[in-house]
Structure 1
Amino acid sequence: MVKQIVERLEKVFPNKLELNFSTPFELVVAVVLSAQERDAKVNEVTQELFKRFKTPEDFAQADLEEIEKYINKVSFYGKKAEYIKKISTILVEKYKGEVPKSLKELSELPGIGRKSANMILYNAFGINEGIAVDRHVLRVSQRLGLTKQQKPEKAEQDLMKVVPKEDWGKFSNLLILLGRYICTAQKPKHHQCPLYDLCPSKEL
């Protein structure tokens, strides 16, 4: 069933995030900004932000107030500015300005949890170390009967058992888009869903 899910969704959605980025570091910044915020708003903000700040060194040396000025249209911009400056400083001091390529190291960065680390690893480096389970992935996985867990970390463990490892990142990207546009929390568009005949929740 999982193989069919991936194959069908690939025909409908691109295997990528809707966040705009051109380097692994830009993706880290965009992911921090995307917490409880729409990707479209983040993309609007990063368009100017990445013209002014291009490297971890740029952010690490900047005043917090200047970073805030560029991102004040997103939710919780003050806390996010702190995270970005701290992350940048750590990358400069500990990783020679490079984004680390392991789940453990990424998860230890301020404002980056396991979900975000998985997202960055796959979309920046093509590395499958886990499955990024956000609210969309959790909801769609539950509706498809792939997990009954309510907590993302536990749902991830269920999914890692049934989804082939080479598809972990792709599976997450595709389910995020399905959940965002078709399998929505309220009034899911059942008859537009490419998984309709496979879904045990289609009559709910």
Structure 2
Amino acid sequence: MATTDWGAALEPLIAQYKNKKHPLDYHNVYQLMVMVVLSAQDSDAHINKLAPALFEKFPNLKTLAKAEKDELEPFVGKVRGFDKKADWLIGIARELKDDKNIPSTMKDLTALKGVGRKSANVIMREAEVPAEGIMVDLHVLRVVDRLGISHAKTGDKMEKDMMAVIPRELWGETGMAISFLGRETCRPTNPKHEQCVMKTHCEYCRIHG
């Protein structure tokens, strides 16, 4: 069977979701960074509910840098992994000191405690800086496996596999486009094959569709 040109195959999907804002309801890069850290192993919807009160109390890194963990607890104490995440956020705030110091490169973002490659890719995409990788969340892990681009079991390995077969100029939009497809169409159960722009290139659809 001919090898799929994934750059060409993904173009309709990328066009469908290009520049669509991330589901986290942020209003600046500071809010985005905080919410991305909080949302790991939790849901975007849960973080969106908690965020307004948190940011009213701590509107920027300067105010967050002065906080102690017990001051964060009333706002984000119910977030999964609160203990670690509160330490990470206060640590980031004390290290960066000011919103204008929030980095925009993979190397500098992933040097911050609590920011992995997935989070860094999200921040860079939303900040509209050149992509240095492809965002892989749980939706991407599922959809990319179904498409047949990669059957890797970890985000880092899947990201490497994708970077090897997808043109660099598409990296910034690819992860979020696939994630949106996973949220809306390629659901864990009962995926909507007939509505999917990727159905003609999808291994899973050929078998189960």
Same fold (TM over 0.5): yes
Distance 1:125 1:13, change over 3 A: closer
**Farther off after superposition, 96-105 or 40-49:** 96-105
Instruction: Tell me how far apart the structure 1 counterparts of residues 71 and 21 of structure 2 sit (CA, whole Å).
Output: 30
Map 1:124-203 onto structure 2 (within 5 A): 124-202=127-205, 203=207
Distance 1:176 1:96, change over 3 A: closer
**Farther off after superposition, 181-190 or 163-172:** 181-190
Task: Return the offset for 1:75.
Answer: 1.6
Distance 1:191 1:33, change over 3 A: same
Instruction: Tell me how far apart the structure 2 counterparts of residues 18 and 86 of structure 1 sit (CA, whole Å).
Output: 25
1:86 equivalenced with 2:88 (yes/no)? no
Instruction: Letter of the 1:187 partner, please give it.
Output: N
1:2 equivalenced with 2:10 (yes/no)? no
Instruction: Letter of the 1:115 partner, please give it.
Output: K
2:113 aligns to what? 110
Q: Which runs of 5+ in 2 are unaligned?
A: 1-5
Q: Deviations over 1:27-75 (max 9, x none)?
A: 1101011111111111111111111111111111012111121112322
Instruction: Give the TM-score normalised by the residue count of structure 2.
Output: 0.88
Instruction: Tell me how far apart the structure 1 counterparts of residues 168 and 10 of structure 2 sit (CA, whole Å).
Output: 15
2:24 aligns to what? 19
Task: Return the offset for 1:2.
Answer: 3.1
User: Which of residues 44, 49, 52 is equivalent to 1:47?
Assistant: 52
1:59 aligns to what? 64
Instruction: Letter of the 2:53 partner, please give it.
Output: E
Instruction: Tell me how far apart the structure 2 counterparts of residues 39 and 162 of structure 1 sit (CA, whole Å).
Output: 29
Task: Return the offset for 1:12.
Answer: 5.9
Instruction: Tell me how far apart the structure 2 counterparts of residues 98 and 196 of structure 1 sit (CA, whole Å).
Output: 43
User: Which of residues 81, 84, 89 is equivalent to 1:76?
Assistant: 81
Task: Return the offset for 1:130.
Answer: 0.6
1:121 aligns to what? 124
Match of 1:150, SS?
Answer: coil
Match of 1:201, SS?
Answer: helix
Match of 1:22, SS?
Answer: coil
**Number of aligned residue pairs:** 202
Q: Which runs of 5+ in 1 are unaligned?
A: none
Percent sequence identity over matched residues? 36
Q: Deviations over 1:121-172 (max 9, x none)?
A: 1212432011111121122111111112222112111111222212212111
2:3 aligns to what? none
Instruction: Tell me how far apart the structure 2 counterparts of residues 133 and 148 of structure 1 sit (CA, whole Å).
Output: 13
Runs of 4+ more than 6 Å apart: none
